[in-house]
């Protein structure tokens, strides 16, 4: 029993250390706001434009190469809009995995019945082939009825991409010469008519909040502003609009502190067992 406990704790400790290192590595990757220490925060952030209308005529290619418009993907039910890009190795993957986990824990809201998901690549060099690969991975992970028709993986030209990201207040930078994207992390819930109903900042999305946001959007209503949050290395106060740089190594520090607490707990428990014997 003691051996199993030690192995389990050792594995957890190593996982936490790795997690802390990943957080540190993400803080120097150029794929997301959390990543680049010299990002211009006046150009990389999310403005909560509640009630703003998404341009329904903006054209994109779906994963299979077919041409679609935002209007053709909306109109029936709400949609979760996820602005990321497919070659991203940073916070995009965290966002997507978190979304999959959240949706997988829905108890009453059904994909394709109560909501759809629209993944929008914000890198204009990406095409349907990359989108199709990401779609395959997502569907294999989700393994949910209705996902095939209700998840859209879009790519498009910069003017069309910007028409949507500007409408929802998703501000990011793209360096065409270096093909580098710096972007914030967060998703938007769109009403069936294409209005921005609510926002969820960061890369972790809780089930009750997302379900409530989907319900609000389904009724064609506009939700309240998202609460103050931290995402990446930027602190955003959605009420005042003020932003400030946050310590980039916070994840590493949290990981180390957690490991130390676990080690202390293990030593304490081991001491008690020795005394009892």
Same domain, 59 and 189: yes
Same domain, 138 and 96: yes
Give 162's Cβ-side CA count (13 Å radius): 7
Domain assignment present for residue 259? The answer is yes
Same domain, 73 and 20: no
Rg (CA), the chain: 21
Domain assignment present for residue 181? The answer is yes
Q: Return per-residue pLDDT of the chain as tens, 277 residues.
A: 433 333 333 333 333 333 333 333 333 233 333 334 455 667 888 999 999 999 999 999 999 999 999 999 999 999 999 999 999 888 888 899 999 999 999 988 999 999 999 999 999 999 999 999 999 999 999 888 878 899 999 999 999 999 999 999 999 999 899 888 888 889 999 999 999 999 999 888 999 999 999 999 999 999 999 864 545 433 334 444 444 333 333 344 444 444 555 565 555 555 544 555 5
Q: What's the pLDDT at 182? A: 87
Same domain, 22 and 95: no
Specify which residues 201 forms β-bridges with. 186
Same domain, 85 and 222: yes
- The CA angle 198-227-74, to the nearest 5 degrees, is 10
Same domain, 49 and 99: yes
Q: What's the pLDDT at 260? A: 52
Domain assignment present for residue 92? The answer is yes
Backbone phi, psi, residue 46, to 5°: -120, 120
- Axis crossing angle, helix 250-276 with helix 2-26, rounded to the nearest 10: 170
Domain assignment present for residue 34? The answer is no
Nearest partner of 259 among 24, 20, 23, 16, judged by Cα = 16
Residue 268: Cβ within 10 Å count: 10
Q: What is the reported pTM?
A: 0.72
Tell me the C-alpha distance between 30 and 23, whole Å: 13
CATH code for the domain in which residue 86 is found: 3.40.30.10
Same domain, 176 and 84: yes
Domain assignment present for residue 192? The answer is yes
Q: What's the pLDDT at 202? A: 85
Same domain, 8 and 90: no
Q: What's the pLDDT at 264? A: 56
Same domain, 174 and 210: yes
**Which residues fall within 8 angstroms of residue 83, CB to CB, at 6 or more apart?**
120, 122, 164, 165, 168, 170, 172, 183, 187
Domain assignment present for residue 194? The answer is yes
Helix (H/G/I), strand (E/B), else coil: 219: coil
User: In which domain, by residue range, is 169 found?
Assistant: 45-245
Same domain, 105 and 159: yes
Domain assignment present for residue 230? The answer is yes
Burial grade of 149 (CB within 10 A; 0-12, 13-18, 19 or more):
exposed
Same domain, 154 and 268: no
Pairing of strands 173-175, 180-182: antiparallel
Write out the E strands in the chain.
Answer: 45-46, 59-61, 67-69, 79-84, 116-121, 151-154, 170-171, 173-175, 180-182, 186-190, 196-201, 229-231, 234-236, 243-245
How many structural domains are present in the chain? 2
Domain assignment present for residue 40? The answer is no
Same domain, 239 and 108: yes
């Amino acid at each position: 029993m003691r051996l199993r406990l030690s192995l389990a704790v050792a594995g957890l400790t190593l996982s936490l250390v790795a997690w802390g290192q990943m957080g540190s590595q993400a803080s120097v990757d150029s794929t997301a706001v959390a990543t680049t220490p010299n990002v211009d925060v006046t150009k990389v952030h999310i403005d909560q434009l509640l009630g703003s209308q998404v341009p329904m005529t903006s054209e994109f290619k779906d994963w299979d190469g077919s041409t679609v418009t935002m209007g053709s993907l909306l109109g029936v039910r709400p949609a979760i809009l996820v602005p990321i890009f497919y070659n991203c190795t940073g916070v995009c993957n965290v966002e997507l995995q978190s979304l999959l986990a959240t949706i997988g824990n829905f108890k009453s809201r059904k994909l394709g019945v109560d909501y759809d998901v629209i993944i929008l690549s914000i890198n204009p060099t990406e095409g349907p082939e990359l989108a199709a690969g990401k779609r395959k991975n997502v569907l294999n992970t989700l393994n949910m009825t209705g996902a095939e028709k209700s998840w859209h993986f879009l790519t498009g030209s910069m003017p069309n991409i910007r028409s949507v990201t500007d409408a929802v207040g998703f501000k990011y930078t793209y360096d065409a010469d270096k093909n580098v994207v710096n972007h914030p992390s967060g998703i938007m819930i769109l009403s069936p008519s294409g209005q921005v109903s609510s926002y969820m900042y960061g890369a972790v999305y809780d089930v009750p909040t997302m379900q409530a946001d989907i319900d609000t959007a389904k009724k064609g209503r506009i939700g309240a502003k998202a609460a103050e949050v931290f995402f990446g290395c930027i602190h955003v106060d959605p009420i005042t609009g003020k932003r400030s740089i946050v310590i980039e190594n916070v994840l590493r520090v949290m990981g180390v502190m957690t490991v130390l607490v676990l080690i202390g707990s293990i030593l304490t428990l081991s001491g008690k067992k020795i005394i009892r014997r």
